[in-house]
Structure 1
Amino acid sequence: MLATLRALRALVLLLGFYLLSLLVLAALAGLDIALLEHVHGYAAFKLVGLSIVLAVPVVRGLFMLRMPKSEDPPGVEVTVADEPRLWALVRELAAEAGTRAPDRVLLTPDVNASVREEPRLLGLLPGPRRLTLGVPLLTGLSEAQLRAVLGHEYGHFTGGDTRLSALVVRGRVQIGRVIERFHESAHDKVTEERARQEEAAAKRIAKGKKPHAVDTARAGATYRAMAWLYTQYGKLYLRASLSTARAQEYAADRTAARLAGRDATASALRELAVLSDRFEFYLDCYATIGLSAGSMPPRGEFFRGFGRLLAAREEQLAAMRSELPTEEVSPYDSHPPIAERVRRLEALSADGRTADAGGPALALLTDPAHTLALLEDAALEESALALPRAADWTALLEAAMAKGLSSGRTPLEQSLGDYTGQPPTLEALLGVMDDGRLWQVAERLPLSEQASAAKGRAFREFARPALTRSLRTMVLAELSARSLLRWEFSWSRPAAVRLPSLTADADADPAAVLDAALSAAVADRPDTAPLRALLERAATPLTTGSSNVNGPVSP
């Protein structure tokens, strides 16, 4: 009954578009008939011509029968022979849900799962079904949580949502195309009017006259008005159709709870938010860190490393799971807030099923390492696949850090270059310090308004932290250029740089020695001797000690 009401609502929304279009055409025709009683000749011809031009996008929208062809997202399609255990779970849950199992399963690189059906006759007849499963989901979910995810997707099948989507999408596409046509016509009219006015202005200039200012504000106004009309209906259409979509999500959650259990479904939703956040972090700070240096993670590690990060940061993830994400609610959201979905699920009666039953979901794959390697080939750009592969994650980090230190330019280097007009090298900076001109350079740093307005000692206190940070980076870049730095890779914390011994005292902490030298260099009366001494010491071949300090860039 509920699916029937949803289908009726989707049909009414689509019919509303046709009704609006017919009313627009009738209004144009009626206006022409009324005005032609009083307008004749060329003016009448222009009036009818304008009405025809305005009617064309409307008519084309009415008779747009071809829908955009759906395409598979980047991924690896797996057959029953490839992944028998995964397919057994997919079919088992479909039977429990009382629905037809997907015809295809596609593994993708996204933290997402979805189902799609290609129905015929606007959803009246069933069609092929496809299930997409994000490998990052398999990496982070338990088998019980994966059952909940699949149960949710099957809830869309049992609710008829995938068939209704044909009606809803058709309306969105048709309205969008009509609006696009009117905007294109308005743009063309503005371009035409601008060209006409610019040509007239050129003629006036050639005659020694002052040209008129180009004004295209009124050009294309009629087309924009028509676009506005359809945009308003489009907003109504979206709000109504997406409110239906949100109700479908709640219904699908209840199906998931029935199939996989309340706790597994609620915990899967909590985990989805965590995995989405951490996967974005992983891509930015680990998987793609070597791109600037023209290097990629070892073969098969681009997606596999995500599992290593999750295992190393379990304590952090537990804290993230305990807090539900806060999201701004919009009438144009296709999904309800996760927090509200979790609250509704946890309000259901306990059913005795746990969220961690069955072990990790990735273990359902026959050979996870092989599948993750195949996913790299399918999901990554060819330009990325063509890059050399690092021997391991530490080598990737060292290449990225060396490139970052050699190619980056600190604010202090920028200020030094502006001040001296010469290449902003570390040696040049030390010379400026020795000459007592450091604080003139500091005045060119990008500081806060309060710091820039300060004078004397107050200014030096404001500027000193920024000076110290930039100077540290310049020193590290110098050591890196001499191949003296080593980087400590970690899945659980930011990368740390390992400094060589910087004094003859084998027991001295290199980090403390560097900090002391930096402090002396940016003192009220700069003293570069300690910094020059440690740089000279680092250049000798007997530097074997090491210590960790935070690097300027770290995952």
Structure 2
Amino acid sequence: MGTSLRALRALILLAGFYVLALAVLALLTGAALAARAWAPPVAALTVTVLCALLGLPVLRGVFTLGAAGGNRKRGSGNGVPETEGLAVSDAEQPELWRAVRSLAERTGTRAPDAILLTEEVNAAVREDARLLGLLPGRRRLYLGVPLLIGLTEPQLHSVIAHELGHYGNADTRLAGITLRGRDSVLHTVEGFQAPRRKLRDRAWARQGRPAGEAVRKGRSIDLGGGGRTGFGYGSMARPFQAYARFYLRATNSVGRGQELAADRVAARVAGRDATASALREIAVLDVVHDFYLNEYVALGARAALLPPPGEVCGGVRHLLADPELRSDLAELRGEPGPGNGSPYDSHPPVAERIRLIEALPDDGRAADPARPALALLREPGRLLVELERVLLTPEALAMERADWPELIHRATHALAEADAEALRTALSEADAKMVRTLPMDAREPRDSAAGAARDLAALLDAIDAGRLWQVADHLPKSPEAARASGRAAREFLRPALECGTRSLAELALVEAAGARWTLSWSTPPRLRLPEERDLTEPLAAAVRAALADDPDTAPLRALLAN
């Protein structure tokens, strides 16, 4: 489909929304006028107010056109950048700019006016087109730093060629019309749903306790959705919901076609094998990058720690280079996943895109080993530091920096302290209760400032004295656990007891034996003694023995004594 036909289609879809909106507004206006002409004054006023309330969401959706879609980007990854990145000029990064301009020339389109680096596993393009996207405008290319870290130079060329292919197909300009129409439709649907939810909430609040009693007795209740107004919102939303589904299906089918066309441009310009391998590698990077942020960066952030400057965005390279992860990464490359198959997804499944690219004729440009794409950047370490300054919040930038081994130890230590807190409180409460039963001259108040080693020794003494479940009874309980008794109550408490005991034992080993949690890029942090003895498995076995039905505290005491 040519640019003119696609522009006409986008305009027709957008016009369809306004035809629907005008028809609904005309219907509401006619109903109000008819009521004023023939109905009694009170009924006429009621109908007029109701029609006005129902017409407001439609009017808001109509006027969304002027505000929607101003800063939109098309991306080839799993998402579209939501924030601006770090702009890099031709003078700062001449080799990157040369590569982009050369690819633009080979793609047959105008080069972007700006290149911005982001922290996402994604590349995207944006064009600030004019006249609803019918006239070209300023172009921006967004490149995620993880792509530069994880891809080779030919693979990155294919990604850039794919994005430039959107320019050549006028996708970025036509996106202005399409996205404005989508925003107007969705904004109108939300305009009907939001007040209806409020009306239902008020109805629930009015019924209060009787409604709760009815639910508990198994009877249905009528929240009413706010009476006639709630019913009206629901009825008025239906045609817009139906049009929204049609609009999304129609525009996203076009979007999927545009992605496949851009893939063919990338294969022609950068090579079939480089394009297919880039898609496989991006699928790997997406998984690895999410894991890195959640398990390493976020771990430190929970303890108000950040890794050294540049590592927040650049540290993912450690996982990619870890030899222990090599086979797992290879498996991910081999099976990128089928995708969700949703008709509303604007991108075809990655596996389908790879299959279509690999079905193209061999162009003789095998994806041989090449230098990493990061080599295109001058002083990449400095750029990663600058990118953090742009993207991180002031609160994050104010956090203490620590190298990875220190960050992992301190952050895991903080988590262990949090996990052990409930058990230490339960132990203190149980001890206080026992002390109150003793004669005054036999009481020895427990030291509230006792360390983890002393707390663990007190817990082991309680176990040996047969008081384990008296201590556990002071742990926080769910409603189900509070109602249970006997064996069932113990089983409810056992997971929290095991977690707290293990964490308390870890803290005691750090305190008394100098153990530390060590960094690993392929496994969770491991607790080791100074002589590098791994305590993870022995500690788990000792905790299980101490909390068994026939408890044995000797293994745990032996670990503390070493």
Q: Aligned residue for 2:126?
A: 116
Aligned AA for 1:295?
Answer: L
1:427 is matched with 457
| Aligned-residue offset at 1:80 | 0.3
Q: Which residue of 1 is the match for residue 4 of structure 2?
A: 4
Is contact 1:239-1:332 (8 Å) kept?
yes
State whether residues 144 and 260 of structure 1, in contact with CA within 8 Å, keep that contact through their aligned partners in structure 2.
yes
Post-superposition Cα deviations, 1:491-529, rounded to whole Å, max 9, x if no partner, equal 344332212579xxxxx9977875775565345543435
**Alpha-carbon distance in structure 2 between the residues aligned to 1:181 and 1:143:** 47
Residue 282 (str. 1) matches residue 292 (str. 2): yes
Per-residue deviation, residues 139-195 of structure 1 (Å, max 9, x unmatched): 000111111101111111111111111111111222233333334554676788899
State the partner residue of 2:333: 321
Equivalent in the alignment of 1:401: 412
C-alpha separation between the residues in 2 aligned to 1:32 and 1:520? 78
1:360 corresponds to 2:372: yes
Is 1:477 matched with 2:507?
A: yes
The 5 A counterparts of 1:294-373 are: 294-312=304-322, 313-356=325-368, 358-373=370-385
Report 1:30-179 matches (<5 A): 30-32=30-32, 38-68=38-68, 69-70=70-71, 73-179=83-189
Partners in 2 of 1:427 and 1:58 — Cα distance? 69
| Residue 251 of structure 1: aligned partner | 261
C-alpha separation between the residues in 2 aligned to 1:189 and 1:428? 56
Deviates more, 1:93-102 or 1:418-427: 418-427
CA distance in 1, matches of 2:545, 2:29: 85
CA shift at 1:437, angstroms? 3.5
User: Partners of 1:86 and 1:94 in 2: how far apart?
Assistant: 12
* Contact 1:107/1:132 (<8 A) preserved: yes
The structure carrying a bigger helix percent of its residues is 2
Q: Is 1:405–1:480's contact at 8 Å kept on the other side of the alignment?
A: no
SS at match of 2:125: strand
CA distance in 2, matches of 1:105, 1:113: 11
For the structure 1 residues 487 and 232, does the alpha-carbon distance in structure 2 shift closer, same or farther, using more than 3 Å as the test? same
Evaluate the alpha carbon distance shift between residue 236 and residue 437 of structure 1 in structure 2; reply closer, same or farther with a 3 A threshold: same
Task: Decide whether the 8 Å contact of 1:194 with 1:216 is kept in 2.
Answer: no
Check the 8 A contact 2:203/2:226 in 1, yes or no. Answer: no
User: C-alpha distance in 2, partners of 1:475/1:233?
Assistant: 60
Helix, strand or coil at the partner of 1:81: coil
Question: Which ranges of structure 1 fall in alignment gaps of 5 or more residues?
Answer: 202-212, 503-507, 539-555
Cα offsets for 1:218-239 (capped at 9, x unmatched): 1432233222331221121111
2:390 maps to 1:378: yes
- 515-524 or 164-173: which moved more? 515-524
The change in CA–CA distance for 1:533 and 1:32 in structure 2 (over 3 A counts) is closer
> Is 2:533 the partner of 1:521?
no
How far off is 1:292 after superposition?
2.4
TM-superposed deviation, 1:343: 0.9
Q: Helix, strand or coil for the counterpart of 1:289?
A: helix
Q: Distance in 1 between matches of 2:267 and 2:176?
A: 27
Q: 1:24: how far off?
A: 1.3
1:262–1:350 CA contact under 8 A, matched in 2 = yes
**Residue 227 of structure 1 aligns to which amino acid in structure 2?**
A
Does 2:498 correspond to 1:497?
no
Distance 1:330 1:413, change over 3 A: farther
Residues 318 and 214 of structure 1: CA distance in aligned 2, closer, same or farther (over 3 Å): closer
Change in 2 beyond 3 A, CA 1:383/1:512 = closer
TM-score, with structure 2 as normaliser: 0.80
Aligned to 1:13: 13
- In structure 1, the residue corresponding to 2:115 is in which secondary structure? strand
**Which 10-residue stretch deviates more, 140-149 or 181-190?**
181-190
Identity rate, percent:
47
Number of aligned residue pairs: give it.
Answer: 513
1-side partners of 2:202 and 2:553: how far apart? 66
Paired residues of 1:518 and 1:531 also in contact (CA < 8 A): yes
Deviation at 1:32, TM superposition (A): 4.3
Match of 1:290, SS state, is helix
- 2:442 is matched with none
**Alpha-carbon distance in structure 2 between the residues aligned to 1:526 and 1:146:** 59
Structure 1 residues 382, 515: closer, same or farther in 2, change over 3 A? closer
State the distance in 2 between where 1:514 and 1:49 align.
Answer: 71
User: Residues 150 and 216 of structure 1: is their aligned pair in 2 closer, same or farther, counting only changes over 3 Å?
Assistant: closer
Give the alignment partner of residue 466 of structure 2, picking from 409, 417, 436. Answer: 436
Q: Name the structure 2 match of 1:28.
A: 28
**Over residues 203-253 of structure 1, what are the superposed CA-to-partner deviations in whole Å (9 max), with x where a residue is unaligned?**
xxxxxxxxxx99654143223322233122112111111111111111111
Question: Is the Cα–Cα contact under 8 Å of residues 517 and 531 in structure 1 kept in the other structure?
Answer: yes
1:377-425 alpha-carbon deviations (Å, 9 max, x no partner):
11112111101111x2111111112212222238866876787677893
2:242 aligns with: 232
Partners of 2:61 and 2:185 within 8 A in 1 = yes
CA contact (8 A) 1:487 1:495 kept: yes
SS in 2 for 1:128: strand
Distance in 2 between residues matched to 1:359 and 1:509, nearest whole Å: 38
Structure 2: runs of 5+ lacking an equivalent:
73-81, 211-221, 434-447
Give the residue type in structure 1 aligned to 2:395: S
C-alpha change, 1:31 and 1:467, in structure 2 (3 Å) is: closer
In structure 2, distance between residues paired with 1:494 and 1:93 = 42
Superposed CA deviations along residues 33-88 of structure 1, whole A, max 9, x for unmatched, are 55556424332343334334433443454355523442872421001011100000
SS at match of 1:132: strand
Bigger drift between 102-111 and 318-327 goes to 318-327
Partners of 1:454 and 1:65 in 2: CA distance: 62
CA distance in 2, matches of 1:441, 1:314: 46
